[in-house]
Amino acid sequence: MSTLNVKKSAGPLLEVNGLSKHFSVGKGQTLKAVNDLSLTVQAGETLGVVGESGCGKSTAGRTILRLYEPTAGETKFEGTNIYKLKGSKLKAMRREMAMIFQDPYASLNPRFSVADIIAEPLDIHGLAGSSKERKKKVESLLEMVGLRAEHANRFPHEFSGGQRQRIGIARALAVNPKFIVCDEAISALDVSIQAQVVNLLQELQDSLGLTYLFIAHDLSMVKHISDRVAVMYLGHLVELADSEDLYADPRHPYTQALLSAIPSVETGTEQPKERIVLTGDLPSPINPPSGCPFRTRCPLATEKCAAQMPEFREVSKGHWAACHYA
């Protein structure tokens, strides 16, 4: 976990209240990707978001940044509801937030040079007064992410996956944001490269005072980088706690199953970790189960779970879970 150089603010940097994002998929059907999501992110922290594919993690991140318009709810950045902003005020808010995308191959325009890719945000927001200043800023950003100034004139296909992701990070940093959504930013990389990119993100956080929403599948990596971890299932937030607390004492049956799947090296001095195998497939977000969304796969499910959605409640200090039996 990173050592933060910025001071945690009295109020949250980001506050998400009752956020939902639904998509119409035709024939009167609605895909409920994110449902009633509420959370806060303090300045300088990393909030990890985990869950199976299709649980709504990436949709939540994109809706928080207003790349998708929300179906319901609000997102406040430093107290301002970003969904109510228009024109120049919205453009100014865009400078405060950025995104690092999952696929380092698809997220970079192959027809642009690295210089033009990184400088595009500078051009949009008018942050470089001259071509000389633009060039200088691009070179500085390249060096910041561990690349060389001469890389600016090359094209994306000339780089490895890890190097491309560093270019994507440099682009995200171009407008000097306070908040960055890392959307599966390491999942397409080799394991050794993943560690390098995570270390880079932590170094940048320390030096620049950044705040991250870190979306990922790799639970061990999320534990390493995150101050707190949020667990999502079928569009719902089902558990939220400090990283160490959640990994040591998961309260929701879904979180317990996820953590039991993390590979571990047996030393011979500890009891082998019991693997919790979930039965059945992830339900469709078009036709979710009644009551608790996890009940169709939960070993603890009762009639109450089918009849009533569990309250997202504080089960111990700073540890929240949405389960009748947490």
> C-alpha 96: how far from its chain's center?
16
Q: What is the pLDDT along the chain (326 residues), one digit of tens a residue?
A: 333 334 444 579 999 999 999 999 988 999 999 999 999 999 999 999 999 988 999 999 999 999 999 999 999 999 999 999 999 999 999 999 999 998 888 999 999 999 999 999 999 999 998 999 999 999 999 999 999 999 999 999 999 999 999 999 999 999 999 999 999 999 888 888 999 999 999 999 999 999 999 999 888 889 999 999 999 999 999 999 999 999 999 999 999 999 988 876 554 444 556 788 788 888 999 999 999 999 999 999 999 999 999 999 999 999 999 999 98
- The CB density around residue 45, as the number of other CB atoms within 10 Å, is 22
Secondary structure class of 316 (helix, strand, coil): strand
Burial class (CB in 10 A: 0-12, 13-18, 19+), 60: buried
Query: In the CATH scheme, what is the code of domain 14-96+177-264+271-322?
Result: 3.40.50.300
Place of tokens 């950003």: 141
CA distances from 237 to 25, 77, 233 (A): 23, 20, 6
Query: 319-322 and 312-316 as β-strands: parallel, antiparallel, unpaired?
Result: antiparallel
Nearest to 216 by CA among 55, 3, 67: 55
* pLDDT per residue as tens digits for the range 102-153: 888 899 999 999 999 999 999 999 999 899 999 999 999 999 999 999 999 9
Q: Residue 42 in contact with residue 8, Cβ under 8 Å?
A: yes
Predicted TM-score (pTM) of this structure:
0.91
The full set of domain ranges for the chain reads 14-96+177-264+271-322
CA–CA separation, 125 vs 185, rounded Å?
24
Place of tokens 């407008």: 175
Residue type (1 letter), 253: P
Q: What would the two tokens of residue 273 be?
A: 């970790």
